Structure 1
């Protein structure tokens, strides 16, 4: 066997092992970031009411009282960051499955929910809100969407 062939064969097991470790690490990260249990049910009056209280405490300052977001929400602020988007039907919140929305509320706009290095004013609420409270918030947001949008978003959530 040539020296080059020997070197190549000794690198291959290391490379395979490294790829397996990376894949396992990625799977564990996704599992850790994924919501556990729970569901945002916009037809559950108690869950929506709990979410409304939380929205008033944690979200209203940026996303506004009618969920309309900040003015010119699609244009960068002088800081280069984006304004808070609306959570009503005029925004894009409903374009995302529940798991992604849950992750953004819990972890902020960080990977895998935003590109590496992306800077946002959206804080991570995982240290302040329980998983159940995050589901309540999502139920409140979803309660403001039409039945057609709710059905579309629920289908997106099932497919995710």
Structure 2
């Protein structure tokens, strides 16, 4: 009986650790509204991104990726997503040691509050299937984000 109890407790611990997700408590309705006003012009009204988002444009800049489960947004931890939005792609990547990648993502620190950024990211995250959210949760907790 004890091995079964230990297995049950062990299987619950990772999920309990994920309960304090950095985007927990986001105002999803506000995030959706802010996304529509601020993000949809590049990332699409349905989070679909720009055409050919995986190939750089003539200027060497990657088009805006989709934020639905078909894109790579969920592959990143929440802190990177927050920093990418607040400080811009170039600054966020360089802060993590990524050099030589030209990002077209502008900084929104003068446009959106931290709470609005979390709301937008919470809205985007809320559209992902449960399994994708779970994977992104794990990435966020491994990196501290």
How much has 1:150 moved relative to structure 2? 0.4
What TM-score, normalized by structure 1, do the two folds share?
Answer: 0.70
- Give the length in aligned residue pairs: 120
How much has 1:117 moved relative to structure 2? 5.2
* Matched residue, 1:73: 53
Unaligned runs of 5+ in 1: 1-37
Bigger Rg over Cα: 1
Runs of 4+ in structure 1 off by over 6 angstroms are none
Report the Cα distance in structure 2 between the residues aligned to 1:148 and 1:50, rounded to whole angstroms.
24
* 1:129 partnered with 2:109: no
- Which residue of the other structure, out of 95, 106, 118, is the alignment partner of 2:75? 95
Check whether the contact 1:68–1:88 (CA below 8 A) recurs between aligned residues: yes
Unaligned runs of 5+ in 2: 1-20
What TM-score, normalized by structure 2, do the two folds share?
Answer: 0.77
Deviations 1:3-34 (A, max 9, x none): xxxxxxxxxxxxxxxxxxxxxxxxxxxxxxxx
Report the Cα distance in structure 2 between the residues aligned to 1:102 and 1:95, rounded to whole angstroms.
13
Check whether the contact 1:109–1:118 (CA below 8 A) recurs between aligned residues: no
Please provide the CA RMSD for this pair: 1.7
Check whether the contact 1:62–1:70 (CA below 8 A) recurs between aligned residues: yes
Deviations 1:61-108 (A, max 9, x none): 000011010011001111111100000011000000100000000001
